[in-house]
Structure 1
């Protein structure tokens, strides 16, 4: 039995990732193709541990250890069960490294959480033969890192130091299309982003909705949205100069205006609601992580209480 995330102690203000994610696993209910032996259900009969069908025993071909004695007793002749092949799992994480991710007003920036999420997904998908690859979206487009065993992927993610992009690159919609086209074999796909639109759009439809829906139609898909508290509400600190990280535009704002703060909070809340509905309509999993909260515990709580569901029949 795996421990509940709330029962695990924090480490340095944040729950220990290995203590939490080493005891949890992302549920993959989609049957997978593959070439190597693993622990995920495949599409065809083969080497595995779970019975798929019962057939008559063929001397010299079937393993006598797989005789189904109940069926044999009813039929009056020997029957054996044949297992479904179990394959390795290939997971990919798309990480948004756009300028808006280099922002944080508490202990961490959003890009720091994104790196931690990649490491966490690596631990959550660890298993025999399993591998994890990454694609980073920055001003130059997508930068791909080849899939490696899960723990190696975790160490690679934590060692990587993302350099904030200073120029606009492909948008999230374009990146999702390229992400889906590059690796078509079914598996786990995780998208880590703040869902900030370069043009500031906060209403549906978003350009990334359709590509996300297509991705989720083939893969077990989870969208991890990273936000900072200052993106949700403005503090009352007088006149400040705000800069749009995506465009570089600057504007002075008088934050002591109560009506301005209320309008800002209302627009932000509407944007959060719209993105949540868009992800839900795409039939992808969705979890929101904040820079002012214990993101490890929040992600673990999501995995523990809301496992990724089977999205379409295998």
Structure 2
């Protein structure tokens, strides 16, 4: 199917992962260029990164759209004739898990970065931000199957261990297709305590992942972190180019100079985008889209803004507008 088919990147595209810098170098660079900036910009918004499950009553306020109906205080509602909900002090001692899709389609990138590089940088930044505030992070890694489980831990060394596991692993061969439902089912079996789960994937997968994702979302706080590349949405006029199925290796030549072909490709891509976003919305998860040609700081800030609006924290701003056509946070 075309959903597993991607243009072969040009020679100027990102180098193979074997030539990527060491994990210490990657983390140090991100600490100076991204994490320090985010620490200053997030300030009091840090608690929007993780949703706790504390039971200490902090306040009462009027019910608003997206509030959890289980938090309605019916006694106060009956007395004031206006629906009110309880606001709790959240437990920040929660674990975050990264469910990492590292299947062959994630190795694609039409520009300077591949989707796998974006995934690595996102995990490095979020894991370091969370562990710096005393939380623990763990991970499940999926290639041809779920082959690595990293239990939750804290501290910089643990983050380096996680990044090393992501970078220093053999690339999966022809897998016959990504089965994302296997990763989600493994997470349901491994992650017993309520946690925040980041599902980092391009969601180019065989069908059947929607139901287990929704089941996870009913038990945990789930964020779908979707990786994408601009060329997956709109093919430029590059003449005759090879198109390769990222997971079976099958190739064919297409003429991108044909305007009709490019229009059909864009129409099918737009249809898949709409179906994917509807499926994520039905699963009840927040969605963060990360494009290979956009800025990670802007992405994380937009994510925290979405979380802030969802939880109706004081100081929440207006609805967030996308900074580009390819990267935005979708409710």
Normalised TM-score (structure 2):
0.67
Structure 2, unmatched stretches of 5+, are 1-28, 60-87, 312-331
User: Structure 1 CA distance, aligned partners of 2:213 and 2:156?
Assistant: 27
Provide Cα deviations, 1:238-271, integer angstroms capped at 9, x if missing partner. Answer: 1111111111111110111101001101111111
More strand by share: 1
Partner of 2:173: 166
Partner of 1:239: 240
**Matching of residues 47-196 of structure 1 within 5 Å:** 86=91, 88-126=93-131, 129-159=134-164, 160-161=166-167, 162-168=169-175, 171-196=179-204
Partner of 1:303: 304
Query: What SS does the aligned partner of 2:131 have?
Result: coil
Cα 1:261–1:167, aligned 2, differ >3 Å: closer, same or farther? Answer: same
Provide Cα deviations, 1:256-300, integer angstroms capped at 9, x if missing partner. Answer: 110100110111111111111111111111011100111332232
Query: What SS does the aligned partner of 1:184 have?
Result: coil
Partner of 2:218: 217
Alignment partner of 1:250 is 2:267: no
Structure 1, unmatched stretches of 5+, are 1-11, 32-40, 53-82, 199-205
Larger radius of gyration: 1
User: Structure 1 CA distance, aligned partners of 2:143 and 2:295?
Assistant: 26
Query: What SS does the aligned partner of 1:115 have?
Result: helix
The structure 1 segments of at least 4 consecutive aligned residues displaced by more than 4 Å after TM superposition are 83-87
User: Structure 2 CA distance, aligned partners of 1:255 and 1:85?
Assistant: 52
Normalised TM-score (structure 1):
0.70
Query: What SS does the aligned partner of 1:125 have?
Result: helix
Cα 1:21–1:142, aligned 2, differ >3 Å: closer, same or farther? Answer: farther
Cα 1:121–1:153, aligned 2, differ >3 Å: closer, same or farther? Answer: farther
RMSD over equivalenced CA pairs, Å: 2.9
Cα 1:298–1:186, aligned 2, differ >3 Å: closer, same or farther? Answer: same
* C-alpha contact 1:51 1:84 (8 A) present in aligned 2: yes
Distance apart, 1:84 and its partner CA? 8.0
User: Structure 2 CA distance, aligned partners of 1:136 and 1:158?
Assistant: 11
Partner of 1:79: none
Cα 1:26–1:125, aligned 2, differ >3 Å: closer, same or farther? Answer: farther
Between stretches 181-190 and 127-136, larger displacement belongs to 127-136
User: Structure 2 CA distance, aligned partners of 1:308 and 1:114?
Assistant: 25
Cα 1:51–1:196, aligned 2, differ >3 Å: closer, same or farther? Answer: closer
Distance apart, 1:124 and its partner CA? 3.9
More helix by share: 2
User: Structure 1 CA distance, aligned partners of 2:117 and 2:305?
Assistant: 23
